[in-house]
Amino acid sequence: MASPTRSACSANYEPSRAFETRHGTVWRVEWHGAWYLADWTTQNGALREIGIKELIQFAVARLHRPRSGEPESGSA
């Protein structure tokens, strides 16, 4: 399946969610019969197909990553 274009994504309502990391990077996740992920910080990110397991791992890694100089979770 070819990756949907931005105009195709906007033309029909499809479930989508965006999340922002504390580093200020915004990621957008869309459903078009499969999950697609894009860097939305500049609104220029190309959508790429991603499996649900990889998507969950991706989100957890981005949302739980400490800022540089901060201790890892659970370490003091």
Beta pairing partners, 17: 29
| Rounded distance between C-alpha atoms, residue 76 and residue 74, angstroms | 7
| Rounded distance between C-alpha atoms, residue 6 and residue 47, angstroms | 8
How far CA 44 is from CA of 2, 17, 41, 57, 67, in Å, comes to 18, 16, 8, 23, 24
* Helix, strand or coil, per DSSP, at residue 2: coil
The answer, yes or no, to whether residue 63 has pLDDT greater than 80, is no
Average pLDDT over residues 41-60: 87
Quote the pLDDT of residue 54. 95
Quote the pLDDT of residue 68. 60
Quote the pLDDT of residue 52. 94
What are the extents of the domains in the chain? 6-63
Confidence label for 50 from pLDDT (cuts 50, 70 and 90): very high
Length of the chain: 76
The per-residue pLDDT for range 5-35, each reduced to its tens digit, is: 544 444 455 678 877 777 788 888 889 899 9
